[in-house]
Amino acid sequence: MKKSIAIINILCILALVSCASVKTVSGNAIIETRTFNLKDFDSITFNLPPSEAEIIQGDEYKVELSLDSNLFKFIDVSVQKHKKELTLKQIPDTNIEPTFFKISVTAPALKSLSISGITKTAVSGFHNKSLPLSLHVGGISSVTADVSASSIEADISGIGNMNLKAEAEKCSFTISGSGDMTADIHSGSIDTGIAGMGTIHLMGKTEKCSLTVSGSGKIKAFDLETEEAVCTISGLGTVEIYAKRKLEADVSGSGSIRYAGDPQHLNLHSSGLGSIQKLNKGNL
């Protein structure tokens, strides 16, 4: 017991020392715009304080930051050549408080985007159906994107949010935590999963979709026109689906699946307090 208490005390002291060693620097409200000569990247990673970013498709590379003039030295802007990755992040042991922070990036192609911290990001113009695209949002950041790709993987961790308009042969959407995602999608297949309390709203059209909820999350897909759907819930989750031809639904726990449409092939199973309910169009 004494050993456990001693370990806890040591951890608390280390945490306090760590917090004390972090330097906070406020912006001077003198805004400068600087251009960085960086190129040959198709992946982007941001881990930044409150900021706005725009990422645009273009023939030439361009990286531009508008920020308080005294804070540039605390931002690491670089390209990791072996990963072809543009990275923007605060230097270690520093917390900056900008009065204004905007990032503008132009690149010919985009294969991966990872945003964490507190950044609001808009992505546009990337419509290359021969390349895959991965989108990640962490922390309390947000991403709005209008894109096309051969395949799209989008995930949210934490309490971030994502708003997508996309076209791809295959799509995968995942939320862990309490994030929120809205996706207007045209795709051959969609695989969607929630672990936690998140919400996903799907619209558009697909041939096949798989919707899985563990925990108390919610998938709203009445606005997604689906030929074949597989829905699985374990826990308190909710799934809403519109299926035209085939529906397989399985609920364990106290979750609920509500479906619309007149699928010819039905395979429905519920256990515990779970429920599966058919709705008419007038009830949607």
Residues 182-214 have pLDDT tens digits of 999 999 999 999 998 999 999 999 999 999 999
Which helix H or strand E contains 11, and what residues bound it?
Answer: helix 2-21
- Answer for the pair 155, 179: CB distance below 8 angstroms, yes or no: no
Residue 109 burial (CB count, 10 A) = 14
Decide the pairing of beta strands 23-26 and 62-68: unpaired
Task: Give the residue from 246, 243, 193 showing the smallest Cα distance to 223.
Answer: 243
Q: State the pTM of this model.
A: 0.89
Which residues lie closer than 8 Å to 15 by C-beta, 6 or more apart? Answer: none
Which helix H or strand E contains 116, and what residues bound it?
Answer: strand 112-127
Token digits for 232? Answer: 């699985």
Token digits for 1? Answer: 């017991």
| CATH architecture, range 31-115 | 3 Solenoid (2.160)
| pLDDT on residue 282 | 55
d(CA 56, CA 159): 25
| pLDDT on residue 283 | 61
Segments of the chain with pLDDT less than 50: 1-19
d(CA 267, CA 160): 35
d(CA 50, CA 267): 48
Render pLDDT for 88-107 as a digit per residue (tens, 0 to 9).
999 999 999 999 999 999 99
d(CA 213, CA 175): 10
Question: In angstroms, how far is CA 261 from the centroid of its own chain?
Answer: 29
From residue 22, how far is each of 27, 92, 94 by CA, in Å? 16, 8, 5
d(CA 183, CA 214): 20
CATH 2.160.20.120 occupies which residues in the chain?
31-115, 128-284
| pLDDT on residue 253 | 85
Which residues make beta-bridge pairs with 124?
56, 146
CATH fold, domain 128-284, is Pectate Lyase C-like (2.160.20)
The number of C-alpha atoms within 13 Å of 1 and in the hemisphere containing its C-beta is 0
| pLDDT on residue 235 | 87
Residue with tokens 């995930």: 155
- Amino acid identity of residue 223, one-letter, is D
The radius of gyration computed from the CA coordinates of the chain, to the nearest angstrom, equals 22
